[in-house]
Amino acid sequence: MKIRLQKIIADAGLGSRREAERWITEGKVKVNGQVETKLGSSADPKMDLIRVNGKALPSTQEKVYILFNKPGNCLTTMTTDARGRMTVMDFLKKAPIRVFPVGRLDYNTQGLLLCTNDGDLSKKLLEPRYAVERTYLVKVRGVPNDKSLARIRKGIWLDEKPTAPVKVEIQRTSGKNCFLILRLTEGKNRHVKRICEAVRHPVIRLKRTHFAGLSLDDLPLGAFRFLSPREIRSLHSAVAPSKSSARENQPAYVEPTKPKPRKDLGRDNALGMDKPRKRVSRTGAPTKAKPRKDLSRASALSKSSARKNPRRTGAPSKSAPRKTASRAGAPSKGRPRAKRK
């Protein structure tokens, strides 16, 4: 039965599928003496002669699963570092079969790292649709408040996309700093560090304690152990097709909306005075809005001066009849004129 070349190479334990695809595109893989450079090429491992970097592909090996407690200042890579830094393969030299790490941990990050030669299982454990949980113990600068923790739980925008919801809780405080426990179901580049930086609590120390139901327990730093049959079965059950279909049938996660930038609308627009309001009469018919009065200072002064001195405005003035009052306060009618004789 023919299988894709990258899968055959990964199952043989030479490297991950990504590395196998790179070898194919670089022309380092030959099938029956012919160089294969297409990623869709397939072959029969029982009938065809496959060579990688000039060496014949080894026969199908037994699947090996190793749990490694990665120390800090160590690279997660299969190749040697050009700067001479320590890699995880330097600690796995005593392993009976060549294995490769499942995922990556940053250079300064410590903790649990699964290594295996099972390419299919490795790929499924990293796929977001299976939502494999990872647990981290994080020491951050400062103590996050409830608002910052709520932002992390809801999801933070990274690379113009929101992260999946994260379970977070404060384990304990240490002076001005504190330790957080984060449980994630996806793994992006510098995921935990970027989340904590987004809420202004940078990471001081980072350690992965659990992955896909596996735990470090009392495994010393820089040591590794083989998984038990029970742990291997739990890994396969975590990526079973039934688990994936059950997660797909769950309600879709609603992405948090991006906050829109607020416009400077000025005082009138901020009060909602930029648009005319619709007025409705008692009968229900719309009425026309009354024109706004000119309430400026110059207009108010001109109107008050016009009332006081109407001659300045050019309007004819009407003199009111002068009323006289008596000493008692009642208006007097005036003295009658004497008749001429």
Q: Which residue among the candidates 81, 90, 106, 217 is catalytic per the annotation? A: 106
- Which residues lie below 8 Å from residue 205, measured CB to CB, with a gap of 6+? 138, 139
Query: Which residue's entry shows tokens 């930086």?
Result: 197
Question: What's the CA gap between 135 and 216, in Å, rounded?
Answer: 11
Per DSSP, the three-state class of 171 is strand
**Residue found under tokens 């152990």:** 225
Radius of gyration of the chain (CA): 41
Q: Which amino acid does the sequence have at 51?
A: R
Q: Which amino acid is at 254?
A: V
**CA 175 → CA 139, 172, 205, 212, distances in Å?**
12, 10, 15, 32
H or E stretch including 168?
strand 167-174
DSSP 8-state code for residue 14: S
Is 106 noted as a catalytic residue in this protein?
A: yes
* Pairwise CA distance, residues 276 & 33, whole Å: 81
DSSP state of 73: S
Q: What is the DSSP string of 21-59?
A: HHHHHTT-EEETTEE---TT-EE-TTTS-EEETTEEPPP
Q: What is the largest CA-CA distance in the chain?
A: 159
**Phi, psi at residue 238, to the nearest 5°?**
-70, -25
Active site members: 106
